[in-house]
Amino acid sequence: MIFGKKENISTLDDILQASWRMLHDGVRNFRDPFHQSSLTTLDGDKPQVRIVILREFSEKDRTLICHCDARGSKVLQIQDNPNVSWLFYNPEKWLQLRLSGTASVHTDDETADSQWEKVTMAHRINYCAEIPPGSPTEKPTSGIPGFLREKAPKLLDASEARKNFAAIVCRFDEMDWLLLKLTGHVRAKFYWKENRMNASWVVP
Ligand SMILES: Cc1cc2nc3c(=O)[nH]c(=O)nc-3n(C[C@H](O)[C@H](O)[C@H](O)COP(=O)(O)O)c2cc1C
């Protein structure tokens, strides 16, 4: 029993199933610690990390999805080098999950369209900045034109916003699970090659 009384976790398969549950909870519940993740990309040989919201998870496809502005730096970085890593942490459980694999950027296909459908009207405004994210400005600004701020949410189905939207789909092939415990930390690693999984306990 690794997690304590509430969850009966003692095998590698239990850990896998519990990890899937936590990732699904992270998608569904905005208060869940797994709702926000750190996504690392590579800018040349320089790692770049930032927080993103976990929008979708599939254990069947082994994918994690987040949304972003198509003009942002991480999009260019992924197009240049698809290797990415996601970091999740649940401070109540003292549990860290790291997943890594390769990412693809979707702006103009069925995946992008179906992800865009999930973006609420209130959040579509985030894709309406006139100039790309990361552009220097003289004053602090969201980059969103004033008329849009005032007339939102009426204008928020604007196709302008859709043009700037991208979904990042990451297929992971490695997962590192770590639980800190007073009685001794526990760690496990999972690897997938095609559809075969390899799992083992490792020294933390
Ligand atoms: C709580 C929180 C959630 C965020 N969620 C996202 C997100 O889902 N997608 C995104 O592109 N940026 C998100 N951001 C902003 C990114 O962390 C980052 O600042 C921005 O995307 C620019 O990153 P880039 O220049 O590396 O592309 C979030 C920031 C915070 C603090």
Q: Residue of the nearest CA to atom 6 in ligand 1?
A: 52
What domains are there in the chain, each with its CATH number? 12-202 (2.30.110.10)
- N-to-C CA span, the chain: 17
- Residues lining ligand 1, judged by CB closer than 6 Å? 36, 48, 50-53, 66-68, 72-74, 133-134
CA of 97 to the centre of ligand 1 (A): 19
Residue 46: partners with Cβ closer than 8 Å, 6 or more residues away: none
Measured from the Cβ of residue 76, the count of other Cβ atoms closer than 10 Å reads: 14
Give residue-wise pLDDT tens across range 49-76.
999 999 999 999 999 999 999 999 999 9
Blockwise average pLDDT, block size 10, the chain, 204 residues = 64 97 98 98 98 98 98 98 98 97 98 95 85 90 74 64 95 98 95 94 96
Q: Which amino acid is at 114?
A: S
What does the alpha-carbon distance between residue 168 and residue 61 come to, in Å, rounded to a whole number?
14
Q: Which atom of ligand 1 is nearest to the CA of 48?
A: 26
Q: What is the pLDDT of residue 8?
A: 65
